Structure 1
Amino acid sequence: MKALEPFTETIVIEDEESTQTLPEITADMKEIIEKALQSGPTQAVLSEGYKLQILKQDMLTLKGLNWLNDEVINFYMNMLMERGENDNMPKVHAFNTFFYPKLMGAGHSAVRRWTKRVDVLAVDYILIPVHLGMHWCLAIIDFRNKCIKYYDSMGGNNNKCLNALRQYLCEESLDKKKQQFDLSGWTSVNVKDIPQQMNGSDCGMFACKYAEYITRGAEITFTQDDMPYFRRRMVYEIMKKKLLQ
């Protein structure tokens, strides 16, 4: 197959005043959150769903300034997929956190069986969590706008990721549909002027919230100041297996 010509550009999202009201964490919700984060057996199962388990040790990564782990991010991404099954919501497929290193290390052949039972070319968004050793980012394949986007809460670029995902679309189409993927009109962008983290620990939260806002069709208007709230809210959402918004 002929190699694709790399294509990248940078886009800017204009800052707008937020008109959104974040759901309140009520007293009853607070009780559930605090119980989930209190000390206890680290192997205790706190939530189950999507063929995944969230243990106490996983939930504690949402406490304070801890780094989110794979289990929490994968569970949250599954909730975004589940929300996409509702009427009038964009259809979402989220690859788990092991997809990106597999794709980058061995190409499409290493992940071709991951979509044996799902047509990822028929959704509105594909979410790809990107772990760069000590830092979480997010890539999104946006079929509605024919764009592959990379979101980094520390402002970095990742053209290798963008180009690998373009190649993935082509090879997935050939493998599953036996036809060339039409890349005409598609762009690849490192998104800039998005909310940035002001510490060294909230990258996973930013990646998750980028995904949540985008797949809800909302303007990305949160800030670093919202992260303590979002951490506690995510604890509750995972416990209830349901997104608040």
Structure 2
Amino acid sequence: MNLLVEINHLVHKRTDDLLELTEDMEKEISNALGHGPQDEILSSAFKLRITRGDIQTLRNYHWLNDEVINFYMNLLVERNKRQGYPALYAFSTFFYPKLKSGGYQAVKRWKKGSKVHWSLVAIDLRKRCLKYLDSMGQKGHRICEILLQYLQDESKTKRNIDLNLLEWTHYSMKPQEILQQLNGSNCGMFTCKYADYISRDKPITFTQHQMPLFRKKMVWEILHQQLL
């Protein structure tokens, strides 16, 4: 299952990725990751509800689920509405599987209204290119082709304009070009951080060793519905 991030004119904006958590933040995070009713709603926004069970997929070595990833992507979109950030649209994690199985007719109204390997496709409208990012080094040539056809269908339907596909390129980033995960459980975190860095036009410089901190920060960010 793949997540799509669509990006417009990008502007560099630096934030401190080394921010340490306070004692109060650590306690709040620990409480959310601790014992309690699995169906207890801990955060609600973007027409999404995050339960304690969802939050607990952010424990170390756990696989992130759709709810957590979709919520985090919406936080990125909200951040990028501020001045100085690029225009950003993040598709739901359910978008690509629906597009692949049902074609354009299955998703043409999309923007209106288990253990899976996570990867990311970033569409840069400035450069007319699609990049596939996979923290396990897999290639996404066919995925990019399907999404490029979606862009063509969307342009015809919404703007009555045919894209010149010869002007578009797509590319699977190689393992030596982007940081790779060192275990079998961090693909969701890598996907989220790829999106975070790309949406700030920032080089991807984080490492596997930062994942425990990133997981904790994401718990706090989801609880408070804002990025650190």
- Is TM > 0.5 for Structure 1 vs Structure 2? yes
Q: May I ask how many residue pairs the two structures share in their alignment?
A: 212
C-alpha change, 1:66 and 1:21, in structure 2 (3 Å) is closer
The CA deviation string for residues 12-43 of structure 1, in whole angstroms up to 9 with x for no partner, is xxxxxxx9651111112111111111110101
What is the deviation of 1:170?
0.5
The code of the aligned residue for 2:223 comes to M
The aligned counterpart of 1:222 is 206
The aligned counterpart of 1:178 is 160
Following the alignment from structure 1 to structure 2, what is the Cα–Cα distance between the partners of residues 201 and 216?
Answer: 25
SS in 2 for 1:64: coil
The aligned counterpart of 1:142 is 124
Root mean square deviation of aligned Cα: 1.6
The code of the aligned residue for 1:191 comes to M
The aligned counterpart of 2:180 is 196
Q: TM-score, normalised by structure 2?
A: 0.89
SS in 1 for 2:223: helix
Following the alignment from structure 1 to structure 2, what is the Cα–Cα distance between the partners of residues 112 and 134?
Answer: 25
The aligned counterpart of 1:206 is 190
The aligned counterpart of 2:136 is 154
What is the deviation of 1:109?
0.8
Percent pairwise identity: 50
Following the alignment from structure 1 to structure 2, what is the Cα–Cα distance between the partners of residues 56 and 214?
Answer: 29
1:67 to 53, 63, 68: 63
Following the alignment from structure 1 to structure 2, what is the Cα–Cα distance between the partners of residues 24 and 185?
Answer: 44
Following the alignment from structure 1 to structure 2, what is the Cα–Cα distance between the partners of residues 29 and 163?
Answer: 43
Following the alignment from structure 2 to structure 1, what is the Cα–Cα distance between the partners of residues 17 and 132?
Answer: 27
C-alpha change, 1:28 and 1:154, in structure 2 (3 Å) is same
Q: What are the ranges of 5 or more consecutive residues in structure 1 without an aligned counterpart? A: 1-18, 118-130
Q: TM-score, normalised by structure 1?
A: 0.83
Following the alignment from structure 2 to structure 1, what is the Cα–Cα distance between the partners of residues 166 and 25?
Answer: 48
Following the alignment from structure 1 to structure 2, what is the Cα–Cα distance between the partners of residues 163 and 49?
Answer: 33
What is the deviation of 1:184?
4.3
The CA deviation string for residues 134-161 of structure 1, in whole angstroms up to 9 with x for no partner, is 3111111111222101000000101110
Following the alignment from structure 1 to structure 2, what is the Cα–Cα distance between the partners of residues 21 and 177?
Answer: 39
The code of the aligned residue for 2:147 comes to L
1:22 aligns with 2:18: yes
1:163 to 128, 142, 145: 145
Following the alignment from structure 2 to structure 1, what is the Cα–Cα distance between the partners of residues 75 and 17?
Answer: 21
The aligned counterpart of 1:101 is 97
